[in-house]
Chains A and B, each alone.
Chain A
Amino acid sequence: MADVRLPGTLTPLFPGLPRRLEVHAPTVLAAIDSLEAQWPGLRDRLVAEGPSLRSHIHAYVDGERAGLDTPVAERSRLDVIAAISGG
């Protein structure tokens, strides 16, 4: 199971969504889709039309910048970051 860390801006939007959880999924997009199944609407908060990650949402798999197609291994760590922006 991949170790998924989510941004703090996301959890208030979905009751019961933890900051850290485990997901079994082959790619970043599949991991997000698996969360969507449990928390409907979550995918749209991270993924824009295309599909692509939203402009200021960054993903890292095992510390490397990732896209939606990036593979996620069984023991990977997937960080989803709300990049510093705005004011």
Chain B
Amino acid sequence: MPKTLLTVATRKGTFVLESDDRRDWKLRGPYCEGWPCYHAIYDPTTGEIYAAAASEWHGSTIWRSGDLGETWEMSSEGLSYGDEDGRKISKASTLARAGDRLLVGVEAPGIFESRDNGRTWSLLSTLSGQHGSEAWDDPANQPPGHLGISGFVTDSGDSDKFFAIVQGVGAFETEDGGSSWTPRNKGLRRDWPSEYEDVGFCVHKLVRSPDPERMYQQNHVGMHRSDDAGQSWTEITEGLPGDFGFAAAAHPHDRDTFYVAPVDGLHDRTMHEGKLTVWRTRDAGSSWQPLRSGLPQENAYLGVLRQGMAMDTHDTPGVYFGTSTGQVFASADEGETWSEIANYLPSISSVDVAVLD
């Protein structure tokens, strides 16, 4: 079996977990000098690991490793709005590969790209001109988590086509490499007033199934499915313990199978009733099954963040997630049974997985 590699971004650096059989795991790290890391990914294009990080002292940067984490370099060259703009980058939040571009989403909301695999960066877009975007940087409009670009969904067939999520505003799609954007929030629920029809939605996580037309999203208020590549959305919350959550993952081989980890949507944002549970649908959201075997079912008051769950691409795919209390759980049988493969890590921001041939 080829090696399975997890990259785990935490509040105190990035860690790597690797296994040849998905049973015995070896943990390495912490890397990135213990900087708070928000998203770490393995990039199959270059074979490099990238980690988006933001130090309270030393600002935002992107760390990279060309040897699976043994050595690291960083660069924030060009990762700036400049001295005249007025906006500042407070956090590098999320990363994605789109063709020859490496994308990083930041707050205040903006997307930077690198054409040299993380050595230098340039501003790609701030999505300016979208309804309400003139107020995105107003401190009076900042929610507790702040506004920023919190996720991407790229298109394996067209590097100019990708989605970006603006926290608290909605999902947007570009088909021309970031020059223009279209809101993709039709049909989403929102339980609050909005000045505009097409924005004002709180998209937490957006994922694409192996069928590019089929997408899923965990929203602030509900699970949703799209059967037309994000053009419109249908709510599929019924059967889940609540409508709120962050983490979500799509099965790599089955368009109808999808995983979420709902949490209480009030102030605590931890597992319902303290029972750590992943929920799975095998019928595109018509029904949901709780997956609990091997997961703590008492006093597990923890959360899983939006980049905190991932699936590998083995024939029987594995599911992985990291918690706010520093555990990494893995399932090698599509979520039927779970085991804890790391513990006592710092609070986990993201888990990404790659199968190395």
Chain A interface (Cβ within 8 Å of chain B)?
Answer: 7, 9-10, 12-13, 40-41, 44-46, 48-51, 54-57, 82-83, 85-86
Offer 26 A-B interface pairs, CB within 8 angstroms, sorted by A.
Answer: A7-B57, A9-B33, A9-B55, A10-B58, A13-B33, A13-B58, A13-B74, A40-B77, A41-B75, A41-B76, A44-B59, A44-B77, A44-B79, A45-B57, A45-B58, A45-B59, A48-B59, A48-B88, A49-B82, A49-B83, A49-B87, A55-B56, A56-B56, A83-B57, A85-B57, A86-B56
Q: With contacts A49-B85, A49-B89 known, is A57 near B75, CB below 8 A?
A: no
Specify which chain A residues have a CB less than 8 angstroms from the CB of B61 in the assembled complex: 44
CB-contact partner of A54 in B59, B75, B87, under 8 A: B59
Residues of the A chain whose Cβ atoms lie less than 8 Å from the Cβ of B33:
9, 12-13
Q: B76 and A44: CB pair below 8 A? A: yes
Q: Which residues of B contact A56 (CB under 8 A)?
A: 56-57
Those of B39-89 within 8 Å (CB) of chain A:
55-59, 61, 74-77, 79-83, 85, 87-89
Given contacts A13-B33, A49-B89, contact A44 B80 (CB under 8 A): yes
> Nearest Cβ distance between residue A30 and chain B, in whole angstroms?
16
Residues of chain B whose beta carbon lies under 8 Å from any beta carbon of chain A: 33, 55-59, 61, 74-77, 79-83, 85, 87-89
Given known contacts A49-B85, A49-B88, A50-B83, A9 and B57 CB-to-CB distance under 8 angstroms:
yes
Write out the residue numbers on chain A whose beta carbons fall within 8 Å of the beta carbon of B87.
49
Q: Using Cβ atoms and an 8 Å threshold, which residues of chain A touch B55? A: 9
Which of A12, A40, A85 is in CB contact (< 8 Å) with B56?
A85
CA distance A57 to B58 in the complex (A): 8
User: Please, which residues of chain B bring their CB within 8 A of the CB of A86?
Assistant: 56
Are the CB atoms of A41 and B74 closer together than 8 Å?
yes
